[in-house]
Amino acid sequence: MVSFRFPFSFSQPPNPTPATPSSATSRPFTAAVTLAAGAAAFAGVAAVTHTNPTNPFLQNALNFFLADRSLPLWGSLSLNDTPASVVDSKTGVSFPSVLDGTRRLLGIGLRRKRVLGLKNIDVYAYGIYADDIDVKKLLSKKYGKLSLSELKQNKEYNDVLLETDIGVTVRLQIVYGKLSIGSVRSAFEESVGTRLQKFGGSDNQELLQRFTSQFKDEIKIPRGSIIDLSREPGYVLRTTIDGNDVGSIQSKLLCKSILDLYIGEEPFDKQAKEDVKLNLASVLQE
């Protein structure tokens, strides 16, 4: 198995018997890497293109360590200097490094689902983005001075993206080819329903229904579909499918319940959450 030797990293050495097979431990790591400049323990990704062709040195440097599957700690790069996109080597899905101008990619994960108690299917790959400006404005003062090991032990920091009114987008890219709206709805009632109950108590049927009623029967979500779940300022959850708005709901509880799937206590992909924390710390130390 692979060991990390980053100068600093939240990532633990892979557990040989991961609780969920979805974690990035199954991704093809190849080597232990020590990068003085700092590189994120960003699982199974490689950059494909770069937005700054006028700077061949930077581009080469990026290609050098991105090709091996790492993403730079963003702290060393401005939004303009980040690679244009990042490919998840597990699914082959590509994620833009920046969405909507200021939302920066902080981690990539995989949602798997066990069907009939038998096999796991890969349902979608997802990218987690947070608004750079909000992050700096709302978190730098409090966390910018802390070292990575201090942040690692900081309980509040663990949930900071969940709890703070920062623009966050989770982009889902469907990889499973046979998703029906019915199965989406029932998976959703299970995963999000559990969270609504956890955070809000029992009486949340109405909220859940308000959300699922956005998913009309005629919507098709074939392989390759892109669903963006965005928390906008004021705790508005906005959903788009392939760029088309399907609805917005103002609810702190709903926002938290959705984001909890990805960056909460029991995320679909633990490594993705660790990467988010690490990359966020890097942004905060700019």
What tokens appear for 285 in the block? 């130390």
Determine what percent of the chain falls in helix, strand and coil, rounding each to the nearest 5: 35, 25, 40
User: CA-CA-CA-CA torsion for 240, 245, 249, 250, nearest 10 degrees?
Assistant: 90
170 vs 278, beta carbon nearer ligand DAO: 170
Q: How many residues does the chain have?
A: 286
192 vs 283, beta carbon nearer ligand DAO: 192
β-bridge mates for residue 104, sequence order? 98, 130
Are 271 and 259 within 8 A, CB to CB?
Answer: no
179 vs 276, beta carbon nearer ligand DAO: 179
User: CA-CA-CA-CA torsion for 92, 78, 274, 193, nearest 10 degrees?
Assistant: -80
Least distance to ligand DAO from the beta carbon of 34, Å? 36
- The edge-to-edge listing of strands for the beta sheet with 85-88 is 45-47, 85-88, 94-96
58 vs 121, beta carbon nearer ligand DAO: 121
| Binding region for ligand DAO (CB under 6 A) | 111, 113, 115, 123-124, 172, 178-179, 181, 183-184, 187-188, 191-192, 215, 219, 221, 227, 239, 241, 261
157 vs 268, beta carbon nearer ligand DAO: 268
Angle between helices 181-200 and 205-212 (to 10 degrees): 150
Least distance to ligand DAO from the beta carbon of 87, Å? 21
Rounded to whole angstroms, the Cα distance separating 262 from 276 reads 10
How far, in Å, are 101, 106, 265 from residue 164 at the CA level? 20, 16, 16
Least distance to ligand DAO from the beta carbon of 215, Å? 4
Question: Read out DSSP for 200-220?
Answer: H-S--HHHHHHHHTTS-TT--
138 vs 181, beta carbon nearer ligand DAO: 181
Are 68 and 30 within 8 A, CB to CB?
Answer: yes
Least distance to ligand DAO from the beta carbon of 59, Å? 35
23 vs 70, beta carbon nearer ligand DAO: 23
146 vs 253, beta carbon nearer ligand DAO: 253
- Residue (of 215, 163, 225) closest to 189 by Cα position: 215
